[in-house]
Amino acid sequence: MKPYKSIVYAFFIGGMFALIAQAILSFWQFALAGTPMEFFMGGATLVSMGVIGCVLGGFAVYQYVEEWGDFGALLPFSGFAMAVGMKAVGPWTKSNEKFGKCVWNCVWFVVWFNVLFAAICIAIGYVCGMLGLNNPVIVVEKTTGGMLFFWAFVVGGILAAIFQLLYIIVQKITPKVNHLHILITAWMVGCILAPCGISTALMNFSGEGFGVMITVGGYNMYNVGLDLFMGHVDGALLHLGSFALAVCGLAITALFTFFIYNAKYGRTPLRDVHKQKALHSLEELGFEAALTDKAAAPAPAKKAAVVEAEDLATA
């Protein structure tokens, strides 16, 4: 796929996932209002998106979206949950690893990733508070009404397109860069933009256009560090509690990606699953089995592309 096309696809797919997340948040705002779990509206939205990624990823469907949208599919929480689940699926199907080892790969990734970068962002928030570097240069009131859905789509799409562009540029410089490196960058960007108020402005302006993206993780943990410095322990614990619940939701949905995939396809590698689906679709269109089998033998370049797509899903 040409670079400019991947950026356009990332924009539209990232925007669509942000739009879906905004609709889900509206439901949770209605369902949890006035309950003890009212503080968890944002976390419930993230977990709900994780469930979407879990189910579609387990049935080997989300990976099609990722091949087209790349960071438009990976940057939202649904894509991150799916990608973590593929940390178990990859060894299970490619290396015939034991069930326990695959589950541990998944859980360990969730633990080290979230604990490490949460700690870094909390420290940055605390230090910024000490140095008085928490001076917003942009102050934006919260968008309300139907326009919130529009701006969620636009900002979510722009963020996905920006990180898609970043990935293309960095890969030109060093082919060793992978999708995880860009996701880590995205997490940290949410924290880095917080002291000057840009993260807060994006959150207020676009809702889930920013809030469903992985960038929100760094932003939330920055706020924990800032709250701790200012002595707002209750606020810090509230943010941490919501974060911990969302991380547990991530771990559970990621594991269920693996469980669903295993129940449906066993140890069949992802590219073979997609190949079988393609053959089945051709047969349903009336092509003879002999012709579809012949067409299934890919040219070397085509085969390489399929292998690359599978590697991206397991990155």
| DSSP secondary structure letters along 121-178 | HHHHHHHHHHHT----S---PPP-TTHHHHHHHHHHHHHHHHHHHHHHHHHHH-TT--
Joined together, the tokens standing for residue 250 give: 């991530």
Average pLDDT, the chain: 88
What angle, 0 to 180 degrees and rounded to 10, lies between the N-to-C axes of helices 198-206 and 147-173? 130
Q: Which of 72, 107, 11, 79 is nearest to 313 (CA)?
A: 79
SS3 60: coil
Contact criterion met (CB below 8 Å) for 177 and 167:
yes
At 257-312, the pLDDT tens digits run 999 999 999 999 999 998 888 887 777 777 655 544 544 445 444 444 444 444 55
Q: Give the pLDDT confidence score for residue 307 in this predicted structure.
A: 44
Q: Hey, which of 36-40, 117-121, 140-144, 175-179 has the most confident mean pLDDT? A: 117-121
At 212-226, the pLDDT tens digits run 999 999 999 999 999
* Distance in angstroms (rounded) separating the CA atoms of residues 254 and 270: 16
Q: Give the pLDDT confidence score for residue 121 in this predicted structure.
A: 96
Largest CA distance in the chain: 72
Between the CA atoms of 41, 47, 49 and 54, what dihedral angle is there, to the nearest 10 degrees? -170
pTM: 0.86
Cα Rg of the chain (Å, integer): 20
pLDDT of 233 > 50? The answer is: yes
More reliable by pLDDT, 182 or 138: 182
At 157-210, the pLDDT tens digits run 999 999 999 999 999 999 899 999 999 999 999 999 999 999 999 999 999 999
% of the chain beyond a pLDDT of 90? 68
